[in-house]
Amino acid sequence: MTGRFLTVPPAEPLIDGRLPDVGDAEGWIALNAEVRWRRWEEPPADRGRLWWRRGRAEPTTPATPPEHPALLLCHHDGRVREAALPHAVRDRRLLPLLVIRCADWAPPVRARARELFAGLLENGLAAEAVSALGPLALRMARGQRGVYVRDAVVERLRSAPYEELAPLLVSEDRVVRRFGWRLVAERRLLGPAEFARTAAEHPDQVVRTLCADAALAVMDEGAPGEVLRPLLACRVPMVRSAGVTALCRAGRAAEAEPYLPDRSGLVRACARYVLRSGGAEPVLRYREWCAAGVGVRPMAPLGLAECGERRDAELLRSLLGHPLAGVRARAVAGLRLLDATGGEVERLRAPLDDPAAGVVREAARALLPYASRLDPDWLLGRVDPALPRQVRQSAFRLLLAQGRPDACRAAALRLADDPLPRLRERAARVLREHG
The per-residue pLDDT for range 368-417, each reduced to its tens digit, is 999 999 999 999 999 988 899 999 999 999 999 998 999 999 999 999 98
Contacts of 84 (CB under 8 A, 6+ apart): 69, 72, 73, 75
Residue 76 has pLDDT above 60, yes or no: yes
Question: HSE-up of 220 (CA within 13 Å, CB side)?
Answer: 4
pTM over 0.85: no
Residue at a domain's end among 134, 165, 184: 184
Residue 54 has pLDDT above 60, yes or no: no
In a domain, 235, yes or no: no
| 3-state SS assignment for residue 54 | strand
In one letter, which amino acid is 50? L
In one letter, which amino acid is 62? P
Please give the pLDDT value at position 92. Answer: 84
Average pLDDT of the segment spanning 168-180: 85
In a domain, 228, yes or no: no
Do 111 and 174 lie in one domain? The reply is yes
Measured CA to CA, the distance from residue 20 to residue 267 in angstroms comes to 46
Residue at a domain's end among 320, 344, 373: 373
Where residue 55 falls among pLDDT bands split at 50, 70, 90?
Answer: very low
Do 21 and 147 lie in one domain? The reply is yes
Do 164 and 26 lie in one domain? The reply is yes
Please give the pLDDT value at position 28. Answer: 87
237-249 vs 192-201: helix axis angle to the nearest 10? 150
In a domain, 84, yes or no: yes
Range of the domain at 158: 1-184
Do 369 and 427 lie in one domain? The reply is no
300-307 vs 325-337: helix axis angle to the nearest 10? 10
Average pLDDT of the segment spanning 319-333: 93
Give the containing element (helix H, strand E) for 407: helix 405-414
Do 41 and 98 lie in one domain? The reply is yes
Do 70 and 160 lie in one domain? The reply is yes
Do 380 and 369 lie in one domain? The reply is no
Q: Strand pairing partners for 39?
A: 53
Residue 53 has pLDDT above 50, yes or no: no
Q: What is the mean pLDDT of the chain?
A: 84
In a domain, 29, yes or no: yes
Which of 297, 292, 232, 301 minimizes the C-alpha distance to 267?
Answer: 232
Do 309 and 382 lie in one domain? The reply is no
Q: What is the DSSP string of 286-355?
A: HHHHHTTGGG--TTHHHHHHHH--GGGHHHHHTTTT-SSHHHHHHHHHHHHHTT--TT-TTGGGGGGG-S
Alpha helices in 171-319 (DSSP H): 174-187, 192-201, 205-217, 224-233, 237-249, 265-277, 282-290, 300-307, 313-317
Residue at a domain's end among 349, 373, 397: 373
Q: How many domains does the chain have?
A: 3
What percent of the chain stands above pLDDT 90? 50
Average pLDDT of the segment spanning 142-169: 84
Do 20 and 142 lie in one domain? The reply is yes
